[in-house]
Amino acid sequence: MRLPSIRDVAPLLAGLPLLIILPLAGVWLAGYPVHQYLEFPPVTRYVAHAGFSWPVFIALAALIVAVVGPFVWRNVRGAKAFRIQGSGFRKENGSGIHNLQSSISFPLPITNRQSSIFNLHFPPWGWFGLLLGLVAWILAWTRFAWFAPLQDFTFSPLWFAYILVVNALTVRRTGRCLMTDRPASFALLFPLSAAFWWFFEFLNRFVQNWYYVGIGDLSPLQYAIFATLPFSTVLPAVLSTEDFLRSFPTIGRGVDGTSRFAPIRTPACLPGERRGFPRRLFVTVSRHERPEPEAAPLPGATARQHGDPCPRIIPAATLLLAAAGLAGIGVWPDRLFPLLWLSPLLVMTSAQALAGRPTLFAPVARGDWNRLYRLALAALICGFFWEMWNYGSLARWSYTVPFVNRFHLFEMPILGYAGYVPFGLECAVAAELVVPHLLPANGPQTTNEEPGTKNRDLPET
């Protein structure tokens, strides 16, 4: 495991004080009692939320569809074209999946058992994860008298089981996974995840969009122990799910910026973008459709020297706006509550850009939304299981979201699931700031190596 350098964590060190101090500064300047936001465990309900509003619900629903819809539509078109092209290639060559697989750089769906990459076994620890998850689910949703002392502690086993199973599925498809390829880096995600989610618990004090049932009798120490263990599973679950999604060639097709469909156009520069990154050869079936790689910049060349029109004022302005949003969420919690999910992402990526570090958004200026799409989808998948397993558990959380708190899927209002979209990106930013090179920056997994071998592109040093 390569430990992060000071340069790696500089954006985190610069942005973290802002993320913590700004909300407190906002409520203090507004004359609100600061001590209520520091209560631990958080049991007092002091934010009076607005009721349901049809105009706000319709406007937010339209905005979500307008933002997410084009990506889903392009992915559907790209996946359909990929399947048609793959089918035509097999017919024309008459040699089955072997020729098709040799022409692409990622694993295909499991449709032909002749290829050795598709004959990988589901590892034994994956079966253990399935058994653990099944037992934990039964115990979480039932109320056996003999299990009553441990009834509140079923959520963590469910998510440890999920992490085992999704990594085992990734091994089944590709012969490798995060958990086995980089065990030390993967283990570091658990304490990082606990700190990561405690930060969102802190921000929730200012908007009180969710609260926990049955924690009033816990001491501060008991609550800290009770909550930290399940919080530690957030990052491993989301990043393992994204790693699993990378094994599907059709996920992200059409939003990768290199398919035969025109990429979704973006401004010439986003925070952290540096022109000259080599374009990954994300191939289509035909070799003639492969884009040529872009020329790399000269060593030491800055973005402006390389012709990048992006001024530093853009990430600076983004940082200021996001910081102002964080300062205001406690003052106007009903109006600014979405910034709980958006502002931390913008603060951290803007700090990275100002420090001269590439950000998660760097490929977007080339029209490549692939990894962002996968991360958002991974968080939505995890969010579905979070909300489902929470629904029947004894120790659970409930929501008090203003304006849209109706039409629930489990405990969560249906529009609330949109918060998982930026949350998936935040998971990747947090992980890569502290555990650099845990995942490839973008692109699908390769299958040019023997099953069970490690990814040679990312050696662990």
Using pLDDT thresholds of 50, 70 and 90, give the confidence band for residue 311: low
Mean pLDDT of the chain, nearest integer: 80
Question: Long-range contacts: 333-336, Cβ < 8 Å, 24+?
Answer: 333/47, 333/49, 333/206, 333/207, 333/208, 333/402, 334/49, 334/50, 334/402, 334/403, 336/207
Q: What is the pLDDT of residues 194-239, one digit of tens each?
A: 999 999 999 999 999 999 987 878 889 989 999 999 999 999 999 9
Q: Which residue type occupies 295? A: A
Tokens in use for 141? 């949703």
pLDDT at 456 over 70: no
CA 284/CA 126 separation, integer angstroms:
33
More confidently predicted of 57 and 298: 57
DSSP letter, residue 95? S
Using pLDDT thresholds of 50, 70 and 90, give the confidence band for residue 432: confident
pLDDT at 113 over 80: no
**pLDDT of 12:** 62
Percent of the chain residues past pLDDT 90, beyond the cut: 57
The mean pLDDT value for 174-179 works out to: 93
Q: What is the pLDDT of residues 364-393, one digit of tens each?
A: 888 899 999 999 999 999 999 999 999 999
**pLDDT of 355:** 80
pLDDT at 398 over 80: yes
Using pLDDT thresholds of 50, 70 and 90, give the confidence band for residue 445: very low
CA 170/CA 105 separation, integer angstroms:
16
Q: What is the pLDDT of residues 418-431, one digit of tens each?
A: 999 999 999 999 99
* Dihedral sign from CA coordinates of 402, 404, 406, 407: negative
CA 446/CA 83 separation, integer angstroms:
19
CA 244/CA 59 separation, integer angstroms:
34
Say if residue 253 is exposed, middle or buried (CB neighbours under 10 Å; 0-12, 13-18, 19+): buried
What is the distance of C-alpha 378 from the center of its chain?
A: 6
**pLDDT of 152:** 87
**pLDDT of 351:** 85
Q: What is the pLDDT of residues 279-300, one digit of tens each?
A: 332 333 333 344 444 444 444 3
**pLDDT of 14:** 65
